[in-house]
Amino acid sequence: MTSSRVPTLLVSGLGALVLCAACSAGPSSEAPRQNPAVGWVDRVCQATVINGARLSQLPAIDPTDPAKAKDGMLAFLTSLSDSLTAVGDGITTAGTPPVSDGAAAVSKAMANLDGARTSVDSAKSKLAAAPVTDPVAFQQAVDALAPNLGALQDNQGPVRDLRENPEINDAYHQAPTCHTLDGTS
């Protein structure tokens, strides 16, 4: 892998996890008027939209300067980890969804979210230890991150996990902020 592919690796490996980084609209100011499940899922979508938007600003990575590339990648991985934590906090703050098997849906979503954050934090630690004084060794260290970050590409995020519950999925379609995640307003 060449140095010029470092930014591509990070962006493609994390692209699916960014959730809604391309969404520029913020949470709806309109309060859901439907059942409590709609209000619950709307709060979860708000946390997802707000924290996904933080990731829409990818760092400038200079592949010709290993030290700057490392700093840029570390900053992005830190932001990603912080965003994953904040989405998890948003789900936790929303409480148990008022639907059948809601606690199980949240447990699954949180387990997958925690696994994603663990992968990001592991990659961040490995990258922090990578030597920048030897460009070949640095590139090898970056290449070694690919399996951790590549696994994130298949992660569709906690909202998808939550929507496996039919009642949460129905509420999702009624929640105004969740329309932002789908790219509709």
Domain ranges of the chain: 3-16+34-181
- Nearest to 122, CA basis, from 179, 169, 84: 84
Per-residue pLDDT at 42: 95
The pLDDT assigned to 182 comes to: 76
**CB of 71 closer than 8 Å to CB of 21:** no
pTM passes above 0.85: no
pLDDT lower than 70: segments of the chain: 1-34, 150-156, 184-185
* Residue 67 phi, psi (nearest 5): -65, -45
